[in-house]
Chain A
């Protein structure tokens, strides 16, 4: 059981990463990775939403009427997303980031990772593993977000977390890197790297 729990946690981080292997949550990973700060807040928000929604729905799993299963999931996920948005709005430190991420926080509702993991895991497992599965999938998503944002902020603005890095050496920020297509190119490169390490993902 312990090995299985470990597998639940580690699998989504690399081998079964929601973005690079399951190809879920691509849209927001292109949109919110212009700065590391934005990506970090987005990653944490998704971790909280996936973790707690999985936990709640796993607790309810035996009572949910089969025919309205998806609607019940949607209501719980939507509640979590609105809570996260409201909380981000009420702190001075996160208000500006929440404004910058604008619609994308709200759109966590439509992030396939959340509903996908609830359907595939939380409804068939006990609360503790479901909670860990949600957290781990959120983290797998967050790691990719941070990698993409690292390169985009470094090359697109010459900064990291808002601190001048390349700018100090007279670097001229590249505008292409700021635009979403470059995030897709980066994402493609990450998938390429992962597939050359993990040979079993390669199609024959």
Chain B
């Protein structure tokens, strides 16, 4: 006898333990009064049991080991990349707070700036509602506001050639200075951040790269300006974007 779709669904949900108490009672009543249905139900149940029986039990100690091996602080080989990224992330935040007054060597401070940029990008990249404080539609206001806060004129670079367009920007601390963060997005929803800050030093430093598990950071210094570009795009793309910015910011 062929049962209706509803009964089939009920049987299946019963076997899979997906019924409410009331539905379960209803099912049991039907099974009690319909031996054929009951046989069908038990056959399904047996099939599920057979499938389950064949899969090994998970050993709790082994599960713990899997978690441990995947942890960032583990020194085993597969997690090294992750460990590195977490350390860098932590350093970026830690140094950002701990050493704000230390006008250390330019190279080191540029490094720290790059780490701050990465931490900022990691924080805001997944933000759906408020990735930026001021949206690109208010570009003029954004540029004026950030220039005032930074104490030097800054423009948001145009990256149209590379497929990225400006979402907007926000003001962030960078050591004891203020910094401007511009966020860009392409049609795939990939996001890039450019963090820029203006400080006393007039040294220039060429492009440097830093990659973590999630992001690639390209940073450089152009006289008093420090820049960090952070994103998850392939290296060639990032390189192209960085060169385009470099060209526009001089």
Q: Does A associate with B in a complex?
A: no
